Amino acid sequence: MDMEQYYGRYEPRMFVAVFDDVERVPAALDALRQVGVTDDFIQVQTGVPYASSILGRPRVWSAVPKYGLTGAVIGFGLGLFFTHGTAWLYPLRVGGMPLYSVPPSLVLLFELTMLGLLVSSFIGVLVESLLPPVGKPPVGNRVYHPAVSDSAIAIFFQTSRVLADEALQALRGVGAHEVTEVEGSFV
């Protein structure tokens, strides 16, 4: 076998399987895993935000809570600075009044903490959804199937020509109403 035949045989190809019923998706993912397609090369797209456990997928961890916590800490720090830091930097003693008044400062602390949390969470969602993951360069066109907008569930997977026929038969066997090859890639 020459090199061109070798690379043609093992070159990865992208496929999509479309399901109307969410109950068939875990069986389809198990069938793909049995064929030899790993979770790194499988992407499930739905129009409804199903939990990963319902679809039989591994849990997906997001960094958005870390962004939110960082923003809340920064907002709380700014709140402390504005309420107590300015009074410490510029003390203004008025007869009988405390220099640091706690009840009014609680309102400002809460508001700036929530402002930092919301702004940084928004930035975190933008970073997580628009930028590719660290270590994986952006490649080609992202895949999408129009039936996802009509409540169908699409499973995109990437495999070699050697495993492709077996994977397509397995997906048709569990009830995919459309299994086709597509152009594009997913991150």
Q: Assign a CATH topology to domain 9-58+136-182.
A: Alpha-Beta Plaits (3.30.70)
pLDDT greater than 50 at residue 6: no
Contacts 24+ apart (CB under 8 A), 73-77: 73/116, 74/116, 74/120, 75/112, 75/113, 75/114, 75/115, 75/116, 75/117, 76/109, 76/112, 76/113, 76/116
Give me the pLDDT at residue 3, please: 47
Average pLDDT, the chain: 83
Give 5's pLDDT tier (boundaries 50, 70, 90): very low
The whole-number pLDDT of residue 181 equals: 84
pLDDT at position 134: 62
- Region 48-59 average pLDDT: 78
pLDDT at position 116: 97
Q: What is the pLDDT of residue 137?
A: 53
pLDDT the model gives residue 7: 47
Higher pLDDT, 9 or 48: 48
Q: Domain residue spans in the chain?
A: 9-58+136-182, 64-130
- Name which of 71, 60, 185 is nearest 122 in CA terms: 71
Mean pLDDT of all residues in 54-80: 89
What backbone phi and psi angles, to 5 degrees, belong to 180?
-140, 165
Query: Is 1's pLDDT higher than 50?
Result: no
**What gap in Å lies between CA 119 and CA 187, rounded to an integer?**
26
Task: Give tens-digit pLDDT for 119-167.
Answer: 999 999 988 877 766 665 555 567 777 888 888 888 888 888 778 888 8
Residue 144's closest CA among 41, 40, 45?
Answer: 45
Q: Is the pTM of this model over 0.85?
A: no
